[in-house]
Chain A
């Protein structure tokens, strides 16, 4: 009996009177890509921030490979292999883009798993190339467009060599063509071909995204949140027909 890869149980987090995450439980398998959807304010970002340890839950717990990570420090969680991106991007604005990524490459985990690349600059460039912004490596991060900042977020996250990657709206600010490219890169990363440790499987993922069409092409399973609660867990094919999904989107009058 193998331990579940990621096990979230009865997670609760309130802000004042508002329950942003209410009794959320779900599992993620090692080889899955999960789509996390729901209307604005449903608590998706909060849930990811609870998993990365940036927020601490009021109750409930999170286990990663059987280890309880609920109260661990953010950096310890990253070094166990969970990396996430910020929805509202947080680049180091006055540093060159490559230095932004080198910070991730200097984490103990990246230094340990990245031995095949001796120079961290090379590894950082590799991550930037994956995200499609390697040609701007020497520019200051403050010069980037919104879409490129998104890509920088992705590059910084994958540079820590995660086993579980949490992406908060990775297609935000990207054009349809760019979205397509990013979706393909993500899929390829998941298969483990291009980036990360050679000859190994890519990271499992949880992806928050509003661009449902692009998202449904790459995910294995969808979790739908509304008012901080899981209202549905289904396959990407079922999601458009699922009554609970239709209700929570149409109920708020938006898709």
Chain B
């Protein structure tokens, strides 16, 4: 009993000293808690569906940031991984009757394979050339899918996939918890030693080689990791919608993810996730004016990008938090001295 009290106390201290000190951390905490209690408060199936889809696309967006934001390997064909994950899960589910908890991870592994197949020829390419080459891959796969309709469903896609779970609430929790876990994992990866190397590869690849790092290997790791996470999101999407169709490979899918990431703030992981949770509901909200929907959406994105070139969320974060000039720890903007080193904040 006293042990339990001790741990609870410790947990509370961590919460007080690590979370409550920074507004951004409080926001993340609220985000987590809100998502987890959402179905207990709101029973509206439409809202729940929007949160589920936003969660799926949040994984997808974060996986693009992991590859293109961090390592700077700009991928304009990210839909490839989403589509391979979706079709992979669909084919496994339909042909072998494998349940979603098996078909989704296996589909994601197929997406990893796709990541390597794309990554290896792309190793020699940089910048615009890489971006334009990657653009082609999902288009190629989509046309391959059309040539084998007996396995892939062709134009119609493969429908009638197994449900994720029997109830709507269970669906919700499976997707949302998966999203929270995977996004945290991605953020942890970027915060690790490997993350430093990813950052450095984006900055100057030759200098990383000259530091004794096998950049080829790390770039392939980035492609594979990104392919895996995007593949999971594709698989979740297929099983949630109960259909895997050619729309998962569309060019608009690839561009959407770029818009989300740039809008939310690249090279952060949390930026793209936040962006999806802002833009996805926004797009639904704009359905009220169907004829103006696309235009208003484009205008909002454009205005944000013009005034906040680093993305919306980093901009907001820099408004409410400042970095200590001495120890580089972040502080609430209104503090006059650093919470760690007590240096004067100006």
Residues of chain A touching chain B, judged by Cβ–Cβ distance below 8 Å, are 52, 54, 73-75, 78-79, 83-84, 86, 90-96, 99-100, 102-104, 106-110, 120, 138, 156, 159-160
Q: Is B342 part of the binding interface, using a Cβ–Cβ cutoff of 8 Å? A: no
Q: How far is it, in angstroms, between the C-alpha of A192 and the C-alpha of B200 when the chains are bound?
A: 29
Check if A103 sits within 8 Å of B328, measured CB to CB: no
The residues of B that contact A52 with a CB separation of less than 8 Å are 210
Q: How far is it, in angstroms, between the C-alpha of A36 and the C-alpha of B196 when the chains are bound?
A: 34
Interface centre among B208, B213, B327 (most CB of A within 10 A): B213
Q: Is B209 part of the binding interface, using a Cβ–Cβ cutoff of 8 Å? A: yes
CB-nearest residue of chain A to B203: A92
Check if B213 sits within 8 Å of A54, measured CB to CB: no
CB-nearest residue of chain B to A139: B328
Q: Is B121 part of the binding interface, using a Cβ–Cβ cutoff of 8 Å? A: no
Residues of chain B touching chain A, judged by Cβ–Cβ distance below 8 Å, are 193, 196-197, 199-200, 203-204, 206-215, 327-328
Q: CB within 8 A of B211: which of A96, A138, A156?
A: A156
The residues of B that contact A78 with a CB separation of less than 8 Å are 209-212
Check if A104 sits within 8 Å of B212, measured CB to CB: yes
Q: How far is it, in angstroms, between the C-alpha of A102 and the C-alpha of B200 when the chains are bound?
A: 10
Check if A92 sits within 8 Å of B212, measured CB to CB: no
Check if A83 sits within 8 Å of B212, measured CB to CB: yes
Q: CB within 8 A of A54: which of B197, B210, B214?
A: B210
Q: CB within 8 A of B199: which of A75, A84, A92?
A: A92
* 19 further interface pairs, Cβ-Cβ under 8 Å (given A78-B209, A83-B210): A54-B206, A74-B209, A75-B211, A84-B210, A86-B210, A90-B204, A90-B206, A90-B210, A91-B203, A91-B207, A92-B207, A95-B196, A103-B200, A104-B211, A106-B193, A106-B196, A107-B213, A109-B212, A160-B211
Check if B214 sits within 8 Å of A86, measured CB to CB: no
Majority SS at the chain B contact face: helix
Q: How far is it, in angstroms, between the C-alpha of A92 and the C-alpha of B205 when the chains are bound?
A: 9
Q: How far is it, in angstroms, between the C-alpha of A98 and the C-alpha of B46 when the chains are bound?
A: 49
Asked whether A75 and B209 contact (CB < 8 A) given A96-B328, A99-B196, A120-B193, the answer is yes
Closest approach, in angstroms, between the C-beta of B72 and any C-beta of chain A? 11
Check if A103 sits within 8 Å of B197, measured CB to CB: yes
CB-nearest residue of chain B to A120: B193
Q: How far is it, in angstroms, between the C-alpha of A174 and the C-alpha of B194 when the chains are bound?
A: 33
Check if B203 sits within 8 Å of A94, measured CB to CB: yes
Closest approach, in angstroms, between the C-beta of A93 and any C-beta of chain B? 6
Asked whether A90 and B212 contact (CB < 8 A) given A103-B200, A138-B327, the answer is no
Q: How far is it, in angstroms, between the C-alpha of A218 and the C-alpha of B197 when the chains are bound?
A: 35
Check if A95 sits within 8 Å of B200, measured CB to CB: yes
Closest approach, in angstroms, between the C-beta of A187 and any C-beta of chain B? 24
Check if B196 sits within 8 Å of A75, measured CB to CB: no
Closest approach, in angstroms, between the C-beta of A104 and any C-beta of chain B? 4
Q: CB within 8 A of A160: which of B197, B200, B207, B212?
A: B212
Check if B214 sits within 8 Å of A103, measured CB to CB: no
Q: How far is it, in angstroms, between the C-alpha of A107 and the C-alpha of B200 when the chains are bound?
A: 13
The residues of A that contact B327 with a CB separation of less than 8 Å are 138
Closest approach, in angstroms, between the C-beta of A238 and any C-beta of chain B? 33
The residues of B that contact A138 with a CB separation of less than 8 Å are 327-328
CB-nearest residue of chain A to B209: A74
Check if A106 sits within 8 Å of B213, measured CB to CB: yes
Q: How far is it, in angstroms, between the C-alpha of A107 and the C-alpha of B327 when the chains are bound?
A: 27
* A-B CB contact pairs (8 Å), 30 listed: A73-B214, A74-B210, A75-B211, A75-B213, A83-B210, A83-B212, A84-B210, A86-B210, A91-B207, A92-B203, A92-B204, A94-B199, A95-B199, A95-B200, A96-B328, A99-B196, A99-B200, A100-B200, A102-B196, A103-B208, A103-B211, A104-B211, A106-B213, A107-B211, A108-B212, A109-B212, A120-B193, A156-B207, A156-B211, A160-B212
Q: How far is it, in angstroms, between the C-alpha of A158 and the C-alpha of B214 when the chains are bound?
A: 18
The residues of A that contact B211 with a CB separation of less than 8 Å are 75, 78, 103-104, 106-107, 156, 159-160
Q: How far is it, in angstroms, between the C-alpha of A54 and the C-alpha of B208 when the chains are bound?
A: 12
The residues of B that contact A102 with a CB separation of less than 8 Å are 193, 196
CB-nearest residue of chain A to B211: A104
The residues of A that contact B203 with a CB separation of less than 8 Å are 91-95
The residues of B that contact A160 with a CB separation of less than 8 Å are 211-212
Closest approach, in angstroms, between the C-beta of B244 and any C-beta of chain A? 39
Closest approach, in angstroms, between the C-beta of A194 and any C-beta of chain B? 21
Q: How far is it, in angstroms, between the C-alpha of A178 and the C-alpha of B261 when the chains are bound?
A: 45
The residues of B that contact A73 with a CB separation of less than 8 Å are 209, 214
The residues of B that contact A99 with a CB separation of less than 8 Å are 196, 199-200
Check if B210 sits within 8 Å of A106, measured CB to CB: no
Q: How far is it, in angstroms, between the C-alpha of A170 and the C-alpha of B204 when the chains are bound?
A: 20
Closest approach, in angstroms, between the C-beta of A47 and any C-beta of chain B? 16
Q: CB within 8 A of A110: which of B197, B199, B212?
A: B212
Q: How far is it, in angstroms, between the C-alpha of A106 and the C-alpha of B197 when the chains are bound?
A: 8
Q: How far is it, in angstroms, between the C-alpha of A74 and the C-alpha of B211 when the chains are bound?
A: 9
Check if A75 sits within 8 Å of B206, measured CB to CB: no
